[in-house]
Amino acid sequence: MRIPLPITKSLLATLALAVSTTVPAALEEQGKLPLDELRTFADVFNQIRVGYVEEIDDSTLLEYAIQGMLMGLDPHSMYLTEDAFQNLQDSTSGEFTGLGLEVGMEDGYVKIISPIDGSPAAAAGLQSGDIILKLDKAPVKGMSLSEAIDIMRGPKGSEINLTIGRPGESQPFDVTVVRDVIKVASVRQRWLEPGYGYIRIAQFQSATGADVTKSLEKLMGEQELKGLVLDLRNNPGGILRASVDVAGLFMDGGTVVYTEGRLANSEMYYQAQDSDSSKGVPLVVLINGGSASASEIVAGALQDHGRAVVMGTHSFGKGSVQTILPLSESRAVKLTTALYFTPDGRSIQAEGIAPDILVERAKVTTYDNAPRITEADLSGHLDNANGKNGAKKSTSSRKLSSELLSSDNQLYEALTLLKGLNILGMGKQKPAPEKTDGSTGES
């Protein structure tokens, strides 16, 4: 039975006025406002306002309605309160206090997209694909994503208990994580072996493009670069512009990504710089199920342009664009407004990037690792006719390869592929482009 309170008509009139003054003319032309649904909303509002077991003020109830409206769209659209908006800014700036998790919503639960390198969450063994069922014994089901994030954030040194459901595990289990200041080192580099470099991008922040440039210049300045591994595993994404900058470092121009949406300004094409800063060095990009958004943009662009071999496992599949729409100084809406497409027109959304070479993460041990006796070990052996003695170097190389194989088999396979490309003569760097008179043309 409906309760015919005065607020019903008042609220209906207010809602109708608000919608009529904010809906663009293009949408008005599609048809009349759904007045029956607005009446239903007003009635439900009254039922809750009058009959709910605890009294809730009207402004709080309307905020709940807004949150529910956005949560019903997709896992990434949300209503941002002042704290939630500040948290969003913190996560892209590279420092915040919490657990170190990139998360999303799935079927009403919080799903871990990836733990951040070096974070308390990573140290606790949390993995991409884990589902958070409870936070300090409080069920996550029914919480909004921003509410769950607020609970996971907290003072440095404080503990929180997470109940985790993991695919392949028969029973949920509890993990206690100690909050800490999360300083996301966006980029780091090292040598895997002489001539073969490694650059790891943990997250795409505002300075990531410049940081990758510095890492690339450092490697190339130290010795000849024969091949490079770009590691995007468990990289949850971040700033779109940074992904365009990174992809452009390895391309000779061309489209990196484009977006399409309903609004006219949502159709954008992002182009790479005109010169390949890596000089065409053989490139392997590593991805996995924790590689999302900006990571998938980089992998997809380099794959479509034939610039890199993508290796690992299928990526996450987050191919949507979110726009922050301010409502006031302390409130905003994060709304999905467009979809990403790779240069060849592939939609990343809910599909992800398929690796060129599938390599599952596995624990691998060498079969026959016992010391071997060779001709060089025999007493009185003849010296090599060319005066070479590579036994010691060969033993050292085998040790390094064995250690890498046991610690990270995907990275080992990437390094092996780069060596193969060099053996086939595909590792020669491109000469610097000749100077022209600066004229350009379009076709």
Judgement on whether residues 223 and 340 belong to the same structural domain of the protein: yes
Q: How many domains does the chain have?
A: 3
CA–CA distances in Å: residue 253 to residues 232, 305, 393: 22, 10, 41
Residue 121 inside a domain? The answer is yes
Judgement on whether residues 207 and 331 belong to the same structural domain of the protein: yes
Between CA 326 and CA 37 the distance in angstroms is: 26
> Residue 24 sits in which domain range?
6-56
Sign of the torsion formed by the C-alpha atoms of 105, 247, 215 and 213: negative
Model-wide pTM > 0.85: no
Residue 66 inside a domain? The answer is no
CA-nearest of 155, 160, 115 to 134 is 160
Residue environment code for 404-429, b if the CB has 16+ CB neighbours within 10 A, otherwise e: bbeebbbbbbbbebbbebbeeeebee
Judgement on whether residues 203 and 350 belong to the same structural domain of the protein: yes
- Measure the CA angle with vertex 218, ends 213 and 219; round to 5°: 100
Residue 395 inside a domain? The answer is no
Task: Say if CB 128 and CB 114 are below 8 A apart.
Answer: yes
Phi/psi-derived region of residue 108, left when phi > 0, alpha when psi is between -120 and 50, beta in every other case: left
Residue 14 inside a domain? The answer is yes
Judgement on whether residues 176 and 206 belong to the same structural domain of the protein: no
Determine the pLDDT at residue 1: 41
Residue 308 inside a domain? The answer is yes
Judgement on whether residues 137 and 164 belong to the same structural domain of the protein: yes
Residue 240 inside a domain? The answer is yes
Between CA 214 and CA 93 the distance in angstroms is: 19
Tallying the residues shown for the chain, one arrives at 443
Mean pLDDT by 10 residues, the chain (443 residues): 43 49 47 82 93 94 92 91 74 75 85 87 92 95 86 93 94 96 85 96 92 97 97 92 97 97 92 94 96 97 98 96 87 94 97 97 76 82 77 60 85 96 73 42 37
Judgement on whether residues 326 and 233 belong to the same structural domain of the protein: yes
Residue 406 inside a domain? The answer is no
Judgement on whether residues 235 and 276 belong to the same structural domain of the protein: yes
Judgement on whether residues 87 and 231 belong to the same structural domain of the protein: no
**Is residue 83 classed as helix, strand or coil in its secondary structure?**
helix
Between CA 60 and CA 51 the distance in angstroms is: 16
Judgement on whether residues 82 and 171 belong to the same structural domain of the protein: yes
Judgement on whether residues 242 and 282 belong to the same structural domain of the protein: yes
DSSP H or E run through 401:
helix 391-407
Give the domain CATH number at 285: 3.90.226.10
Judgement on whether residues 157 and 295 belong to the same structural domain of the protein: no
Between CA 358 and CA 361 the distance in angstroms is: 10
Between CA 152 and CA 146 the distance in angstroms is: 10
The residues pairing with 48 across neighbouring beta strands, listed in sequence order, are none
Phi/psi-derived region of residue 168, left when phi > 0, alpha when psi is between -120 and 50, beta in every other case: left
Judgement on whether residues 332 and 216 belong to the same structural domain of the protein: yes
Determine the pLDDT at residue 132: 96
Residue at a domain's end among 295, 328, 358 = 358
Residue in the block written with tokens 């639960």: 109
Give the domain CATH number at 122: 2.30.42.10
What angle in degrees, to the nearest 10, is found between the helix axes of 391-407 and 409-423? 140
Residue at a domain's end among 167, 183, 199 = 183
Task: Say if CB 302 and CB 355 are below 8 A apart.
Answer: no
> Could you list the active site residues?
293, 304, 318
